[in-house]
Amino acid sequence: MKIAIIGPGALGCLLGALLFEAGEDVGLVDYRPDRVALLRRQGLQVGTPAGGTRTVPVPIGLPHEVAPADLTIVAVKAHQTRAAALDLPRLLAAGGLALSLQNGLGNLEIMAEAAGPARLLAGVAFLGVTRTAEGQVILAGQGLISIGVPAGSQVSPVERARVVGAFTRAGLECRERDDIEAVLWEKLLVNVGINPLTALLRVPNGALPELPEAWDLALAAAFEALAVARAAGINLTVDPEARLRQVCVATATNRSSMLQDVLAGRPTEIEALNGQVSARGAALGVDTPVNDLLTRLLQALGQAGPFRVNCQ
């Protein structure tokens, strides 16, 4: 299967490398010519926390250089989805599928505006992967990829099975879910708790349950998200506390994607995570004070960059 992956971030690089090693015809898509040149020269580097690293020569190109694909995986940050979606019609071969494996809510709606809903797949990736430098990733926690059909999609069971097969051959645990919207919310619950607090406190995921005040706030954010999900009619049976603890333990040495963004001075996904809980809560009449505050704190953190004093 020809696979294009938009976004050479932590997830895009990891998937690109694993799918390439499994023999898929995979190409990474990037918008930055300087990074394309760098990654062509050095290849992708995949490491483990124990220290072993291997180089994987995954082809990479600008959007017009990558041939239309049977499956295009959108792995950019949520605030880049609109730009990436503009390339979807060109990157999709006739009958090609587009799969979002991004954090947060709102990405599929943007992709549907650009490419229509019929060939879309929704996905949720629970992988503790850290980008240490451009094209260099460490896989700290092996996890699960869930895929399913969002509202309006007409992707057939056979086509879905081909996608699951590609991930499985690449050594990733991948399952098809018929309640993918609930799975997206379940991941959101985890992200709204772990991501902003690890980013504000600059701690790895495993530290969070050890910090009583931060842990309380993380749980409060997750419980608010659960209340919003239920008000929206999503059938979530998850216990937020058990789920957050489980993810913190499974990805203990991992830096959350939001912490990685903050440390690198990049915009964060706060609007697609806690911001979505606040916005949807407001629309449904559910109070979300912790998510409101965390959203504003992360926005303030982003705005403070140019004024920050240097700490030793």
In the set 77, 119, 131, 187, the catalytic residue is: 187
Contact 8, 39 (CB under 8 A): yes
Closest CA to 70 of 28, 25, 114: 25
Beta carbon of residue 128, minimum distance to ligand KPL (angstroms, whole number): 5
- Our finding on whether 107 is near ligand KPL (CB under 6 A) is no
Closest CA to 244 of 195, 277, 294: 195
* List of residues 6+ apart from 287 with CB closer than 8 A: 224, 281
Beta carbon of residue 234, minimum distance to ligand KPL (angstroms, whole number): 19
Token pair of 271, please?
């609007």
Which stretch, 28-36, 47-55, 131-139, 191-199, contacts ligand KPL (CB under 6 A)?
Answer: 191-199
Beta carbon of residue 194, minimum distance to ligand KPL (angstroms, whole number): 4
Beta carbon of residue 90, minimum distance to ligand KPL (angstroms, whole number): 28
User: Which of 8, 128 has the CB closer to ligand KPL?
Assistant: 128
- Our finding on whether 288 is near ligand KPL (CB under 6 A) is no
* List of residues 6+ apart from 306 with CB closer than 8 A: none
Which stretch, 33-41, 187-195, 293-301, 302-310, contacts ligand KPL (CB under 6 A)?
Answer: 187-195
Token pair of 201, please?
């406190």
Q: What is the DSSP string of 220-246?
A: HHHHHHHHHHHHTT------HHHHHHH
Cα–Cα distance measured from residue 111 to residue 131, given in angstroms and rounded to the nearest whole number? 25
Closest CA to 188 of 234, 155, 119: 234
The 3-state DSSP composition of the chain as helix, strand, coil percent (nearest 5) reads 50, 20, 30
Position among 190, 192, 225, 236 found at the interface with ligand KPL (CB under 6 A): 190
- # residues contacting ligand KPL (CB under 6 A): 13
Position among 80, 146, 191, 288 found at the interface with ligand KPL (CB under 6 A): 191
Beta carbon of residue 117, minimum distance to ligand KPL (angstroms, whole number): 25
Binding mask 200-219 for ligand KPL (x = CB under 6 A): -----x--------------
Which stretch, 50-58, 67-75, 83-91, 188-196, contacts ligand KPL (CB under 6 A)?
Answer: 188-196
- Our finding on whether 102 is near ligand KPL (CB under 6 A) is no
> Is 77 assigned a catalytic role?
no
Contact 179, 235 (CB under 8 A): yes
Which stretch, 174-182, 212-220, 224-232, 249-257, contacts ligand KPL (CB under 6 A)?
Answer: 249-257
* List of residues 6+ apart from 178 with CB closer than 8 A: 148
Position among 254, 276, 278, 291 found at the interface with ligand KPL (CB under 6 A): 254
Q: Which of residues 113-132 bind ligand KPL (CB under 6 A)?
A: 126, 128
Cα–Cα distance measured from residue 277 to residue 200, given in angstroms and rounded to the nearest whole number? 19
> Binding residues for ligand KPL, per CB under 6 A?
103, 126, 128, 190-191, 194-195, 205, 247, 251, 254, 256-257
